[in-house]
A and B are shown apart, each in its own frame.
Chain A
Amino acid sequence: MNEQVHTANLKTIAQSPLVARGIGNVKVRARNVNVFYGEKQALKNVSVDIPARAVTAFIGPSGCGKSTFLRCINRMNDTIPGARVSGEITIDNQDIYDPSLDVVQLRARVGMVFQKPNPFPKSIYENVAYGPRIHGLAQNRAELDEIVLSSLEKAGLLKEVKDRLHEPGTSLSGGQQQRLCIARAIAVSPEVILMDEPCSALDPIATAKIEELIDELRENYCIIIVTHSMQQAARVSQRTAFFHLGELIEEGDTDEIFTNPKDRRTQDYITGRFG
Chain B
Amino acid sequence: MSDVSTPSAATPAAQTGHWYSVAQQKRLKRRYAADRRLRYLGLGAIGLAIGLLGMLIVSLVYTGHLAFAQTRVELEFYVDPALVKADDIRAGNFRAIARQALFTQFPEVTSRREQTQLAKLLSPGAEWIVRDYVAAHPELIGKSFKMLVPVSDPYDQLQKGLMSRDMPESQRRLSDQAIGWFDKLKKAGLVHTTFAYELFANADSRFPELAGLAGAIAGSFLTLLVCLVLSFPFGIAAAVYLEEFAPKNRLTALIEVNINNLAAVPSIVFGLLGLAVFLGFFGLPRSAPLVGGMVLALMTLPTIIIATRATLKSVPPSIREAALGIGASKHQVILHHVLPLAMPGIMTATIIGLAQALGETAPLLLIGMNAFIPSLDSVGLLEPATALPTQIYSWADSPERGFVTRTSAAILVLLGFLVVMNTAAIYLRQKFERKWS
Query: At the interface, is chain B mostly helix, strand, loop or mixed?
Result: helix
Distance to closest chain B CB from A146 (angstroms): 18
Q: Are A114 and B318 in contact (CB under 8 A)?
A: yes
- For this complex, 19 residue pairs linking A to B, each with C-beta atoms less than 8 Å apart, are A74-B325, A76-B321, A79-B324, A104-B328, A104-B329, A105-B327, A108-B326, A114-B318, A118-B319, A118-B321, A120-B319, A120-B322, A121-B319, A121-B435, A131-B327, A135-B327, A185-B325, A188-B326, A188-B327
Residues from chain B with a CB closer than 8 A to the CB of A185 are: 325-326
Contacts A120-B337, A170-B437; A181 near B322 (Cβ below 8 A):
yes
Residues of B within 8 A of A111 (CB): 325-326
In the complex, which of the residues B248, B325, B437 has the most CB atoms of chain A within 10 Å of its own CB atom?
Answer: B325
Nearest CB of chain A from residue B390's CB, rounded to whole Å:
44
Is A118's CB under 8 angstroms from B318's CB?
Answer: yes
Q: Which residues of A contact B436 (CB under 8 A)?
A: 121, 170
Q: CA of A114 to CA of B248 in the docked complex: distance in angstroms?
A: 27
A81 — which chain B residues lie within 8 A by C-beta?
Answer: 248
A121 to chain B, nearest CB (A): 4
Q: Which of A104, A106, A114, A170 contacts B322 (CB under 8 A)?
A: A114
Scan residues 65-102 of chain A and give those whose CB is less than 8 A from a CB of chain B: 74, 76, 79, 81
Chain B proximity mask over A44-65: 1 for CB below 8 Å, otherwise 0 = 0000000000000000000000
CB < 8 Å neighbour of B327 from A107, A116, A118, A120: A107
Number of interface residues of B (CB under 8 A): 21
B326's partner among A116, A121, A131, A170 (CB-CB below 8 A) is A131
CB-nearest residue of chain B to A187: B326
Please indicate the chain B residues that have their CB under 8 angstroms from the CB of A118 in the complex. Answer: 318-319, 321-322
Give the contacts of B297-335 with A (CB-CB under 8 A): 318-329, 332
Q: Give Cα distance in the complex from A260 to B211, angstroms.
A: 96
Residue of B nearest to A105 (CB): B327
Task: Give every chain A residue within 8 A of B248 (Cβ-Cβ).
Answer: 81
Q: Is B31 an interface residue (CB 8 A)?
A: no
Residue contact B332 to A134, C-beta cutoff 8 Å: yes
Q: Which residues of A contact B (CB under 8 A)?
A: 74, 76, 79, 81, 104-108, 111-112, 114, 116, 118-121, 130-131, 134-135, 170, 181, 184-185, 188
Give the residues in chain B near A184, CB-CB below 8 Å.
322, 326
Closest to B325 in A: A112
Q: How far is the CA of A112 from the CA of B328 in the complex (A)?
A: 13
Chain A residues, CB < 8 A from B318: 114, 116, 118
Which A residue sits closest to B316, measured CB to CB?
A: A118
Indicate if B336 sits at the interface (CB-CB under 8 A).
yes
Query: Which 5 A-B residue pairings sit nearest by Cβ, starting from the closest?
Result: A108-B327, A107-B327, A112-B325, A118-B318, A121-B436
Q: How far in angstroms is the closest Cβ of chain B from A167? A: 14
B337 with A107: CB separation less than 8 A? no
Q: Which residue of A lies closest to B330 (CB)?
A: A104
Q: Within the assembled complex, what's the spacing in Å between the Cα atoms of A179 and B337?
A: 20
Q: Which of B265-320 contact A (CB under 8 A)?
A: 318-320
Q: Which residues of B contact A131 (CB under 8 A)?
A: 326-327
**Is B366 in the interface zone, CB < 8 Å from A?**
no
| Inter-chain contacts of A119 with B (CB < 8 A) | 322
The answer to whether the Cβ of B134 comes within 8 Å of any Cβ in the partner chain is: no
Do residues B341 and A134 form an inter-chain contact, with CB atoms below 8 A? Answer: no
User: Smallest distance from the beta carbon of B243 to chain A beta carbons, Å?
Assistant: 13
Complex Cα spacing A107 to B329, Å: 10
CA distance A6 to B375 in the complex (A): 90
**Which residue of B is nearest A108, CB measured?**
B327
Tell me the smallest distance from the CB of B327 to a CB of chain A, in Å. 3
- Specify the chain A residue showing the minimal Cβ separation from B318: A118
Interchain CA distance A130-B323 in the complex, whole Å: 9
Instruction: Determine which of B329, B336, B341 lies in contact with A130 in the assembled complex, contact meaning CB atoms within 8 Å.
Output: B336
Whole-angstrom distance between the alpha carbons of A76 and B322 in the complex?
Answer: 11
Q: Name the residue of chain A whose CB is nearest to the CB of B327.
A: A108
A112 CB → nearest B CB, Å: 4
Is there contact, CB below 8 Å, between B322 and A107?
Answer: no
Residue of B with least CB distance to A113? B325
State in angstroms the CA–CA spacing of A108 and B327 once bound together.
5
Q: Are the C-beta atoms of B326 and A114 separated by less than 8 Å? A: no
A188–B321 Cα distance when bound, in Å, is: 16
The CA-CA distance from A105 to B327 in the complex, in Å, is: 6
How distant is B409 from chain A, measured CB to nearest CB, in Å?
A: 46
Which residues of chain A come closer than 8 Å to B319, judged between CB atoms? Answer: 118, 120-121
Query: A105 vs B340: C-alpha distance in the bound complex, in angstroms?
Result: 24
- Distance A105 CA – B326 CA, assembled complex (angstroms): 9
B341 CB contacts on chain A under 8 angstroms: 121
How near does chain A come to B296, taking the closest CB pair, in angstroms?
34
Please name the residue on chain B nearest to A74 by beta carbon: B325
Verify A107–B326 contact, CB threshold 8 A.
Answer: yes
Instruction: Name the residue on B nearest A107 (C-beta).
Output: B327
B435 touches A134 (CB 8 A): no
**Chain B contacts for A76, CB-based, 8 A:** 321, 324-325
Contact of A134 with B322 in the complex, beta carbons under 8 Å: no
Of the candidates A114, A134, A135, the one whose C-beta lies within 8 Å of that of B321 is: A114
Residues on B with C-beta less than 8 A from A181 are 322
Quick one: which of B248, B319, B324, B436 has the most chain A CB within 10 A?
A: B324
